Chains A and B, each alone.
Chain A
Amino acid sequence: MDSDEDFDYYDAGDDEEDDLSLRDDADDDDEDEGYLDDNIIVSEAPHGSETKDEEVYPHECLSADRIVDLMVEILKEVNDIVNIPPTTLRILLAHFNWDKELLLEKYYEYDGNQERIFKEAHVVSPFKMKRSNKSRDVSCEICCSSCSSSFMTGLDCGHMFCKGCWSQYLRTKIMDEGMSQTIPCPAFDCEIIVDDAIVMSLISDKKVRLKYQHLMTNSFVECNSLLKWCPSPDCHHVIKVEYRDRRAVKCDCGREFCFECSESWHDPVLCVHLKKWLKKCDDDSETSNWISANTKECPKCQVTIEKDGGCNHVICRSQTCKHEFCWVCLGPWDPHGASWYNCNRYNADDAKKARDTQQRSREMLQRYLFYCNRYMNHLQSLKFEHKLYARVKRKMEEMQQLNMSWIEVQFLKKAVDVLCQCRQTLMYTYVFAFFLKRNNQLLLFEDNQADLEKATETLSEYLERDITTASIRDIKQKVQDKYRYCDSRRSVLLRHVHEGYDKEWWDYLD
């Protein structure tokens, strides 16, 4: 803990020692419960109340079965209030994105004119008189064969088709088009929606039924703003929250992600900026390096030009521009005359101006590359840390054979945990800074960032190298000190950013 006074925004450095040593015992005991509890402890620390990150964000991880139960619960709840058949109610709820309050509100707002609500949801009102379809033999409009009326069926809109065609129709809609909550009646221009009871009665194929149920759950989750699928591949869990927010949630499968945007948890940067950043990286990262090395922009229309021949008399190919300029000084070609082979007009005014514009646009690119490189570095390191976990595990076993207890060696795993957290936070701090204009708060932020980065790298070095050479007692002290320092610096940095969000310190670039 050397130079932290310079960087300390929250003045955490001084009381950190006591604070942390107080936690020491508790810390070791709870080790295997992960870092969630750690956050809670930090929030109890006397650092003030602006600790949004460290407040508990109540969420719950649901399995597929629990989702169905939840759906049934909502149906029941609403059905207790309004007396509508469950199949119709389900369509209504889907129409209102499973927002039961909104449904009830509308239902009573339209009091006396509830017909309208049913119409908007594309379902026939259950209070309407049913048409009697007890007619004789009829022909099915789809397969054009005549069947007995007992073999014909339809929705309340009265369009009747034979059961064979119905099941084929539903099969195509479910299997090929992936529809579930919004399958309409097969008749032309009829928008009445097929309810789940009919689907289940007409479809006997297990595969189709399963897919249908899966699609139903899926659309239930997608529609419901308090539910979100875990983004891990092949994880079928759903996270349920009490209220929607940009916060970290953790799935039972171990994946930690942002509830708002489903990306990996990206504190301190905002979802919008992260999205912009990821898109920019996808579009640009490789290309921009090449562009930077091989091209210049046309001084007039700024189109990017690659010179593929030796002559320095360049004519912009852009149809509307056709500007002629010198590749060397970027000034207009005219004053060069045909006889100049080498350009010696360095200080001509317009050439200078052209070079300035060029420089500005290159600076933008350089700036992006600066942030991108650092972001990528941490991303890369983070990917390598799983190797470190394996190595640390071996080391821990080794140490246990040297007469250390299981609890005593857990500090190593904890250290890698902290290292990964710090790398992840650092990674996103570069995205955060990329979108910001310079101001004093940003300078403070960058100091925090630099300090955390330096500490993180030292910790990483300890874990990578020294661990194999130094004596175990020594290293334990060193590593523990360092990871605690990193952890507290990380909290300081995040708190500063969050406070900035609350107090609107950050000026964004457009």
Chain B
Amino acid sequence: MSSIAATRVQRELKDINSEECSGQNIRIELMNDQFEHLKGEIIGPPGTPYQGGKFKLSIHIPETYPFNPPKVKFETKIWHPNISSVTGAICLDILKDQWAAALTLRTVLLSLQALLSAAEPDDPQDAVVAKQYKDNNSLFYKTAKFWAQIYAEAPGPTDTDCMDKLKKVTEMGFYRDPSLRALSSNSWNLADALDNIG
């Protein structure tokens, strides 16, 4: 790892952790003493279905950082038009062609938080989610909230209807993740979900 990248990351970590208590709800820590892999966490912003959820991110620092963007994806499963519900891959301009060397990990995490508050369904990463977001926003809200509660420890009582259906499918012997994805992608219709479970 080049010396610029290492000093930059060290410096950034120090800055972020000093601001940690200042209410921005973001955190970054090292995986080991190499600066290549970092773990990040953002808290779901209030007023969104993700409110209070803890979303873990994997951050890979390329050799040429900060001249090339860090590679960031969601470790925690999330239901969001710009984030793949399968792989956690993120569609965000500053992580691609809009990256500038003067941006930092802190700005990246803050941008991700902003993305949770304001999705861009017209530029989707996950077409299924984006379609639901546009066609049936209340269903989207319900689903995203349920996912946040299941995977990201978001507080509050879980939707009983969703819980029941998920239970029914898993009791048939399917794993939880594909079951939940099938239900969510099929408007929580039990029969359709069972037809298309993958």
Do these two chains really belong together in a complex?
yes
Taking Cβ atoms with an 8 Å cutoff, the residues of A that contact B are 141-145, 159, 161, 164-165, 168-169, 171-173, 176, 186-190
CA distance A145 to B12 in the complex (A): 12
Task: Say yes or no: B103 contacts A172, CB within 8 Å.
Answer: no
Would A186 and B101 count as touching, CB distance under 8 A? Answer: yes
CB distance from A351 to the nearest CB of B (A): 35
Check A172/B102 contact, CB under 8 A, given A142-B8, A144-B8, A145-B7.
no
Q: Would you call B102 and A176 a contact (CB within 8 A)?
A: no
CB contacts (< 8 Å) of A143 on chain B: these are 4, 7-8
Instruction: Check A172–B7 contact: CB distance below 8 A.
Output: no
Contacts of B94 in A (CB 8 A): 188
CB-contacts of B70-116 with A (<8 A): 94, 100-103, 107
B64 touches A144 (CB 8 A): no
B160 CB → nearest A CB, Å: 35
Q: B44 on the interface (CB 8 Å rule)?
A: no
User: Which of A161, A164, A169, A190 has the most CB atoms of chain B within a 10 A radius of its CB?
Assistant: A169
> Can you name 21 A-B pairs with beta carbons within 8 Å?
A141-B102, A142-B4, A142-B8, A142-B101, A142-B102, A143-B7, A144-B12, A159-B102, A164-B4, A165-B101, A168-B2, A168-B64, A168-B67, A169-B67, A169-B101, A172-B68, A176-B68, A186-B67, A186-B100, A188-B102, A189-B100
Complex contacts, A142 vs chain B, CB 8 Å:
4, 8, 66, 101-102
A-side contacts of B101, CB under 8 Å: 141-142, 161, 165, 169, 186
Q: Are B103 and A188 in contact (CB under 8 A)?
A: yes
| Chain B proximity of A153: nearest CB distance (Å) | 14
Q: How far is the CB of A175 from chain B (nearest CB, A)?
A: 10
Which of A172, A187, A188 lies in contact with B67, CB distance below 8 A? A172
Q: How far is the CA of A173 from the CA of B67 in the complex (A)?
A: 8
**B8 contact set on A, CB distance < 8 A:** 142-144
CA distance A497 to B27 in the complex (A): 72
Q: How far is the CA of A189 from the CA of B99 in the complex (A)?
A: 9
Rounded to whole angstroms, the CA-CA distance of A173 and B97 in the bound complex is: 12
Question: A176 vs B191: C-alpha distance in the bound complex, in angstroms?
Answer: 50
A186-B102 Cα distance, complex, nearest whole Å: 7
Bound-state CA distance A171–B107 (Å) is 24
Contact residues of B between 143 and 163, Cβ < 8 Å to A = none
Which residue of the partner chain B has the closest CB to A188?
A: B100
Q: With the chains together, A159 CA to B68 CA distance in Å? A: 19
A143 and B66 alpha carbons, distance in the complex (Å): 8
Report whether A144 and B7 are in contact in the complex, using a CB–CB cutoff of 8 Å.
Answer: yes
Residues of A within 8 A of B102 (CB): 141-142, 159, 161, 186-188
